[in-house]
Structure 1
Amino acid sequence: MIDVDYGHVRKKLADLMAEQNISINKLAFRAEMQRTQLKAYMKEDIQRVDLAVISRLCYALECDLNDLIEYIPPNPR
């Protein structure tokens, strides 16, 4: 099997929170989420993205999907 680099997805929640100067407690309240779940997204410590969570975050932060996640293409060889 050939090892193929497909690139990766960068989660930008922590950057967006800092930009908007919003605390994890305030975002947890607005998005009706647990702080532990938010911390996992902030640390990019997730394997699968939950679309319901992304929707809540976009709503609470008044942002677009592209503000939360970004596709980074593989490096050309």
Structure 2
Amino acid sequence: MMIRIKLDVMMAERKMSLNKLSELVGITPANLSILKNEKGKAIRFTTLDALCKALDCQPGDLMEYIEENENK
């Protein structure tokens, strides 16, 4: 994957649990876990918006582009 999701880093920096973030964002802990563990294939803008509001961050704080050759 060329986009790395840094949700775990943001949650740790804010000392926020998966369950608390799930309540704030309005998605199940299971679906949030899929995002956190980089198993998801897509993210809705509404979900991204809710995550940014709950974590008080910008979309770029949650995602990082990695060059394809860096993955190997």
TM range (shorter): 0.7 to 0.9
Q: String of CA shifts for 1:7-66, please: whole Å, max 9, x gaps.
A: 710000011101111001110111111111110011001112221111110011110001
In structure 2, distance between residues paired with 1:67 and 1:20: 13
In structure 1, distance between residues paired with 2:65 and 2:43: 13
Q: Which runs of 4+ in 1 moved over 4 A?
A: none
- Percent identity between the aligned chains? 33
Larger Rg: 1
* RMSD over aligned Cα atoms: 1.6
- The aligned counterpart of 2:66 is 72
List gaps (5 residues or longer) in structure 2.
none
Matched positions, count: 70
- State the secondary structure of the residue aligned to 1:70: strand
Q: TM-score, normalised by structure 2?
A: 0.86
- The aligned counterpart of 1:31 is 25
- The aligned counterpart of 1:4 is none
List gaps (5 residues or longer) in structure 1.
1-6
**Greater helix share, structure number:** 2
